[in-house]
Amino acid sequence: MGLISICHGISSTCLIQSLLLNFFSYFRFLNKLKFKSLIILLAFIFGTDLYCTNRDSLLKIAYSPSSTDSVKFFIYYDMAWDYLYSDPDSAYTFSKQAFFHAKKSGSARIQTKILNLMGSYFQVKGDYVKAIDYYQKSLNLGEQKKIDEAVLVALGNIGAIYITIGQNKKGLEYQLKSLAIAEKLNNENKLASIYNNLSLLYNNFLDFNKSLEYGKKSLAIYKKMENVNGICSAYGNIGNAYMGLKDLDEALKNFIKNNELSKEAENPYEECTSSMDIGEIYYKRKQYNLALPYYLKAEEIGEEIEDYSTLQSVYSNLYKIYKETGDIKKALVKYEKYVSVIEKLNETSSKEELHKKEIEFEFNRRAVRDSIKNAEANIIKDEKIKASKAQIDRDKILKIALTAGFVLVFIFGIVIFNRFRIIRKQKEIIEIKSKQTEEQKEIIENKNKEITDSINYAKRIQYTLLAHSDFLDVHLGKDNYFTLFHPKDIVSGDFYWACEQDNKFFLAVCDSTGHGVPGAFMSLLNIGFLSEAINEKLILQPNEILNYARSRLINSISKEEQKDGFDGVLLCIDKKANKITYASANNSPIMIHNQQIIELEKDKMPVGKGEREQDFTLNEIKVQKGDTLYLYTDGYADQFGGPKGKKYKYKQLNNELLAINKMPLKNQAETLIKNFQDWKCDLEQVDDVCVIGIRF
């Protein structure tokens, strides 16, 4: 059978418009060259093709720091709907991301969409109480803000749940309210889902002709929209209507289409029920050899998704088929499974309660059917009057059309001739524009090369300030450390820096605000303040050094409430006192001792303007021979990747460090970068990566 249609009212136009804003900002400098025609052409191409990009491309846009909250919302929102039936848990993950950006956007319209999406997730999972709760919130907000589309979607989905749980009277009430708004808005997307639900509702009322009528209306709109899940569901409901009308041939045709599309849409619920329906028709015809593979497929999927209601019918009919064909052993197996499913179904509902619900269903069904018939009697009468008047009007129009047709043919000939002349002239203009476009492209490429060359030169400057390997070899030992430095862009906001003062060796591993060129500027400024504290002010306690750097940052660049600065760890190895101390800002060093992970203390505040501006804490590390200390920024743990595009996370990184701890340190760096690339795969790197390991 077809599933209850869930409305979501997505607007890809909003997504395209939001992304175009980012696109235009990237090409803002082109206005200086007066190439507005080029921008409009590129924006048109970009807008029409954007929604067809693959999931990875959309995720790259979502992860981009330059994307607005509205853009990120619509990407995660689309992804959640895409996964809703095939992988509900992934859909829930994306919906939570969308919910976060919806709240940040402050848009009531967007918030109604995400509330509806959350309700749809719980509806698919079968938690109807939570689903109605979210739908009701969306309905209340839509009515409060007078957002007709949100009210329409919420009413339709609440009605769909009532249909699912058998309260058809309430289901009809909500569906008809939703239908009135959909017709007012002329919203074909919603009309399709409401027609689909009405088809299922009338099928429950045993009014199979009405069910068929609404099913075909739904199918026509879904085909126009090329909505695979909708087409699939509509075929299922049409098949049910034909089954009720005893037209098994038409029912079989529609169930087969339903089954084929369910595979294309990766919808296991539809594939399971359609396989059972096809098997049932062949079973009724005693074509057991044709029925058997469909029942077995329904059994396989039903067991996987734990659809015990469908499995009950499947096991029963498989038992009968094997019994009829003389395969007693298999018949016994299916009968035992049938009994087991009955027991599972009885665990959740007593026979008395089931009987009560059947009575309630029958009462509601008859009451709703009577009220529908009375209401539709007046509708049919009005429709006949309208049809009669429409026929008279059509006859008049036909006479006028025949007369005007001859005139239009003559005018059309003149227009075609004139159009030919215009097209020839337009072709000449296009050739000129094409040449201008090539010239403009060359100018842009040259400009980009100049910018890239400048950034590469800045990279050389930045790398000279990082801790040099020769310097680290002297103070840490050539084979006693490794550095992994992998910027997101040409230049980096992450840095590792070292110096020596008064027989004390200092090593900093830090993550400046931002990455790319802005991050690189911040890293140079941060290195400068650290160097100033140690080499000029002779401040030799790590916590005091961070206090000084924070003060300099706030006085220099945070006067207008900017919160720029850095997170990181500053390590001090006192060779004279044989002591190791450190101070940490939002970053915990990791010590591995006796194959145990020890997460060291940190101060939960940045070096810069933040919610807390207390003094940093001086911490001391007690190390033994063979212990390994790891310092890293957040870029490695925050990288998206893996089979489901999720973050790597700190726990997984620390476990990886524990696993490779016994390797030579140089090999550890190689293993870490390989693991990072394998996890990231084809996704964009989201941040700079810096990891340093030291063995004592």
For residue 359, give both structure tokens. 């009575």
pLDDT at 21: 33
- Amino acid letter for position 607: V
DSSP 3-state assignment of 568? Answer: strand
Bridge partners (DSSP) listed for residue 581? 572, 620
Q: How far apart are CA 208 and CA 199, in angstroms?
A: 8
Mind listing the pLDDT tens digit for each residue in 413-471?
Answer: 788 878 877 888 887 788 888 777 887 877 787 777 777 766 777 777 777 788 888 99
- Asked if residues 635 and 689 have their Cβ atoms less than 8 Å apart, the reply is yes
Q: How far apart are CA 383 and CA 381, in angstroms?
A: 5
Please state which of the ranges 199-213, 266-280, 353-367 shows the lowest mean pLDDT. 353-367
Please state which of the four CATH numbers 3.20.20.70, 3.40.50.2300, 3.40.50.10890, 3.60.40.10 is assigned to the domain occupying 466-695.
Answer: 3.60.40.10
Average pLDDT over the chain, rounded to an integer: 82
Looking at the predicted structure, is the pLDDT value of residue 98 above 90? no
Looking at the predicted structure, is the pLDDT value of residue 408 above 70? yes
Higher per-residue confidence, 442 vs 251: 251
For residue 33, give both structure tokens. 């060259």
Mind listing the pLDDT tens digit for each residue in 509-538?
Answer: 999 987 778 888 888 999 999 999 999 999
pLDDT at 17: 35
Looking at the predicted structure, is the pLDDT value of residue 382 above 80? no
DSSP 3-state assignment of 581? Answer: strand
> Pick from 433, 531, 532: which is nearest to 35 by CA?
433
Bridge partners (DSSP) listed for residue 358? none
Looking at the predicted structure, is the pLDDT value of residue 541 above 80? yes
Higher per-residue confidence, 98 vs 301: 301
pLDDT, average across residues 10-27: 35
> DSSP of 487-526, one letter per residue?
-SSSS-SEEEEEEEETTEEEEEEEEESSSHHHHHHHHHHH
pLDDT at 4: 56
Q: How far apart are CA 637 and CA 656, in angstroms?
A: 11
pLDDT at 125: 83
pLDDT at 373: 54
In the block, tokens 């003149």 appear at: 414
pLDDT at 39: 27
Q: How far apart are CA 679 and CA 449, in angstroms?
A: 31
pLDDT at 434: 78
Mind listing the pLDDT tens digit for each residue in 189-235?
Answer: 888 988 998 998 899 889 999 999 999 999 999 999 989 989 999 99
Give pairs for 177-182: CB < 8 Å, separation 24+: 178/152, 178/153, 181/148, 181/151, 181/152, 181/155, 182/152, 182/156
Looking at the predicted structure, is the pLDDT value of residue 565 above 60? yes
Looking at the predicted structure, is the pLDDT value of residue 393 above 90? no
- Asked if residues 91 and 121 have their Cβ atoms less than 8 Å apart, the reply is yes
CATH code reported for the domain at 1-186: 1.25.40.10
For residue 164, give both structure tokens. 């699912």
Domain boundaries, the chain: 1-186, 349-460, 466-695
DSSP 3-state assignment of 67? Answer: coil
Residues in the chain: 696
Q: How far apart are CA 525 and CA 508, in angstroms?
A: 14
How far, in Å, are 64, 412, 516, 675 from residue 487 at the CA level? 15, 64, 8, 16
